[in-house]
Amino acid sequence: MKVFMSIVALFALFPPSLHAEGLSGTWTAGSSTTAQTAQTVVLKVQGDRLTGIVCGPCDDPAAVFRIEDGRLLDRERITFFIRYDVGGPLFRKYGPYRDQVTATRSENQLTLRAQREGETENPVTTVLTRVVDTYVGVDLAAPSGAIASGSTGASKPAPIEGKWVAAGRVSQQNFILKVRDNKVWGLVCGPCKPDGVFMIDDGTFDGNAMTFYINHLDTPPSTRKAGLNRNIMRGTLVGNVMKFKWVREGAENEPGGEMILIGPIR
């Protein structure tokens, strides 16, 4: 009971919205010019909720993992879990597992200490650097009306899960779609360097209809960027082709665009 009261008191002193400043966005263990094998982490903090993705290489579905059950500890620290359900450094030994991560932020660096859930082996430490070092950070409002995208547990991938490629583009753009229990998340990249990775979340798949959101936080760098911008993708699946129409969230009455995805590529 005393521990619980201490946590309540801590959150009363430091509201979650204050903790979020500067954490949302893209972080990497490489650099914006590193090859696609660099580990990239995208975090999104809204109110007291923290979600995200981990990838590297980011165009390989087997190297894209979900950040879940995240929360804010204090002004500099966060904690979350990375779910390794199709791969990961210990997957061959243990099968599906989760890493519990505590991250500490110091300006443009984020130090992660990861340990397999329920185990006592020594934590693995990774230091990440913010991709856009001039990003000052903004508080994101708590989600309202968004599709819940919590833990997907041990559910199996849907047959359409995998890598999809946007047709008709001069440079290849990859969509890594993770589909579990009719929920969709993942990423878009191309080129798949840290400054070209964008998180997909809040998605659903029902029959042959799919909807998801593409998040733009601090990347690509822009002096006009302020806060979270999302594109809404609504598409229909026919065979190995998905035809999408997209609009910017909050500007649904303005012109958007169309896109065709082909896949999944095995």
Which residue from 217, 221, 211, 170 is spatially nearest to 198, judged by alpha carbons?
217
pLDDT at 8 over 50: no
Whether the Cβ atoms of residue 185 and residue 53 lie closer than 8 Å to each other: yes
Instruction: Assign a CATH topology to domain 17-130.
Output: Lipocalin (2.40.128)
Same fold for the domain at 17-130 and the one at 162-265? yes
Using pLDDT thresholds of 50, 70 and 90, give the confidence band for residue 213: very high
- The torsion region of residue 169 among left (phi > 0), alpha (psi -120 to 50) and beta comes to beta
Q: Which residues contact 153 (CB under 8 A, 6 or more apart)?
A: none
Work out the average pLDDT over 22-26.
88
Does an H or E element contain 174, and which?
strand 174-180
Q: Give residue 134's pLDDT.
A: 82
Look up the pTM and report it: 0.86
Using pLDDT thresholds of 50, 70 and 90, give the confidence band for residue 10: very low
What the block records as the tokens of 225 is 């960027």
Whether the Cβ atoms of residue 164 and residue 263 lie closer than 8 Å to each other: yes
Cα separation, 67 vs 84, in Å, equals 10
Q: Considering just the CA atoms, what is the radius of gyration of the chain in Å?
A: 18
Work out the average pLDDT over 83-88.
91
Cα separation, 121 vs 20, in Å, equals 30
Query: In this predicted model, what pLDDT tens digit does every residue of 223-242 receive, in sequence order?
Result: 666 678 899 999 999 999 99
Query: In this predicted model, what pLDDT tens digit does every residue of 133-178 receive, in sequence order?
Result: 888 766 677 766 544 444 555 688 899 999 999 998 888 999 999 9
If you count DSSP H runs as helices and E runs as strands, how many of each does the chain have, helices first? 3, 16
HSE-up (13 A, CA, CB side) for residue 141: 6
What the block records as the tokens of 114 is 């990861």
- Counting other chains too, the contacts that 206-211 makes at CB distance below 8 Å and 24 or more residues apart are 206/182, 208/236, 208/237, 208/238, 209/234, 209/235, 209/236, 209/237, 210/184, 210/234, 210/235, 210/236, 210/237, 210/242, 211/184, 211/235
Query: In this predicted model, what pLDDT tens digit does every residue of 178-210 receive, in sequence order?
Result: 999 999 999 999 889 999 999 999 999 999 999
What ranges do the domains of the chain cover? 17-130, 162-265
Q: Give residue 211's pLDDT.
A: 98
Q: Give residue 107's pLDDT.
A: 87
Instruction: Assign a CATH topology to domain 162-265.
Output: Lipocalin (2.40.128)
Cα separation, 91 vs 84, in Å, equals 7
